[in-house]
Structure 1
């Protein structure tokens, strides 16, 4: 670990300090792993994303030393590596806690309580966004959508899901993490928790060492599949026996029949219970569509224009 984290951060979130190099013992550990990652790609620069995860697994964030290491291994400039490291939010520019807590504050999670959860966690932990508690246990970040809207509001710890959270359950969660009981905390779905550095190594593309992790799916459950089941006309759990849900009625193709093409006002919309009223009936003074089944022909417009 370098001393970079003690330096004042720049606008990019990286410490304002010349990049040093990793000590020999660190390079001896990193070099074989880095080479393994690079050899997976026909172009070495394609290994940049996993290589950034690798240096993050070493220090708990992407430091200037890590950026210099990636640049040297891939034949890139430090500016090129920095551009990538500061674009993707999963790469931390400050040291992360052992457990990095992300609160989704995107639209659905926010309106269902995500904003309140994030605000109360900041107050409860005494830290702000992208900051870490003094004991180094927990860091906090508001994050964008993690494709778990059907379980909103969602909190993630080292990118494992904790669904249907409340301010109280979220505060209890971080208290258990700070008390050293992270190994006992089980996500709603997915594998058991591991530390942030261990998670970064897994994201770099190395085997997941957690027992049963491959078999513990983090995919969506019944709420994720509800729409598909409804579209198939299946019955959802909790409905009375024998009740069959029918998919919404769709508009027929435009060329389904001559009658539809001649009088589109008789074609119900996807969400209309009854065919919409003709335009003339809705606003007789300003008809803007077919009236009484007649369709104005372009020739009539041309003739009127010529007469004027």
Structure 2
């Protein structure tokens, strides 16, 4: 009997330790997050969505009535974040990427915009929207430029987005079906991933047809000096800006890393510093990142920021990936 009791106690202890271990693992600090939150239970009034409540969903297809400021998607599109910074994409004709600066390392997107549709333009406990996108692409989003005229996503047959979250990364996938610009109509698949302890987003896109002028870039906020550099082997390069160019006139650095074999030119566009890609149907990958001076472990000077992005360029030079 004593042997059985000892064995039973051992089993109970083992189960208790296992349960506690699972509890610790389940409470492990989350370092990345991607979400898309939409209104349900309301109704359309013209092109504005009225009433309803917010619900986070795994995937979403845009309603044909959706446009900018339709109020049917919280902070106007999907968002993704690491424990250092957050980004969002306007899932409408603008197709621009904006930056949410964070003052702590916690996950913040689930609470952004709950206290008012555009409350994130004001300083919050978690941080704030820190970039004025204006008429530009923001940071790292896709557009098309031909003869210095920018063509956005005004005409798309169908746009769908979904999110994926794991311990290693968080990802937003977007399918643009029937994107029409000039006399061309293509499909474009995009994948945006963010990683723990990193500021950068990895952006991969695949066009269904090889058209000229597909581009990305960095919005010119105050016409800060354009920083440029190529890696030692010439395979990667970056464009970047740094200065008091945030919404609050404090320090904000933005950088975009491109594979030199994939680009046709780097040019000064009407609203942005642009990287224009060669026509292709192959997957193209680039990276972008931002750093705000109010974040924890902030890069507060141009020298600190440039040293940081030079290290990232060296990583691309040696590993061909970040």
Q: Shorter-chain TM-score: what band?
A: under 0.3
Q: Which has the higher contact order (CA 8 A, sep 6+)?
A: 2
- Decide which structure has greater helix share: 1
Q: What is the TM-score when the length of structure 2 is the normalising length?
A: 0.22
Q: What is the TM-score when the length of structure 1 is the normalising length?
A: 0.23
